[in-house]
Amino acid sequence: MYREEILKKYEPSLDNILYILHDLQDNNPQHYISKEDIEVCANFLNIPYSYVHGVVTFYSMFSLKPRGRYIIRLCESPPCHLMGSESLLEYLKKKLNVKIGETTKDGMFTLELTSCLGICGVAPAMMINDEMVGNLTPERIDAILEERRQTS
């Protein structure tokens, strides 16, 4: 039902496809683009399913796999790398017991990597859902994850 509400906001014009996909993904309880999402988008824009699928797979912000409640996107670009993001990645993998792209068993966190987030003044940095966090250390990460666990 909610999907129709989302589509109502847009003109059925192809140049709105990224907005529509963002909106469908943000409102999907599992933060991903499901087959159903692709179908409604394709029908709405009157384009083939395969076309939408192709667009989804091109952009790194879209996922075809169900994801956790919180999506952690750690920056791996050179500025964050210089400030130690690689060791933080190892720390996160161990702490959450997941590989890159996987979700924790409790469905709470998904670990992803991202290119430069443009907040390099506080490198190493990451995004957790829409929020940016920086000056990361293992201790700060512990605190951030704990805070998210508490609030949910």
Binding site for another protein (CB under 8 A): 13-19, 21-22, 45, 54-55, 58-62, 76-79, 81-83, 114-123, 127, 130-135
Q: Which is nearer to another protein, 64 or 106 (CB)?
A: 64
Task: State the minimum distance, in angstroms, from the CB of residue 118 to another protein.
Answer: 4
Task: State the minimum distance, in angstroms, from the CB of residue 128 to another protein.
Answer: 10
Question: What strands, in cross-sheet order, belong to the sheet with 131-133?
Answer: 109-114, 70-75, 126-128, 131-133
Q: Please give the Cα distance from 55 to 35 (Å, whole number).
A: 13
Task: State the minimum distance, in angstroms, from the CB of residue 32 to another protein.
Answer: 13
Q: Which is nearer to another protein, 43 or 135 (CB)?
A: 135
- Cβ contact 118:79 at 8 Å: no
Tell me the two tokens of residue 115. Answer: 């290119």
**Cα-to-chain-centroid distance, residue 81:** 20
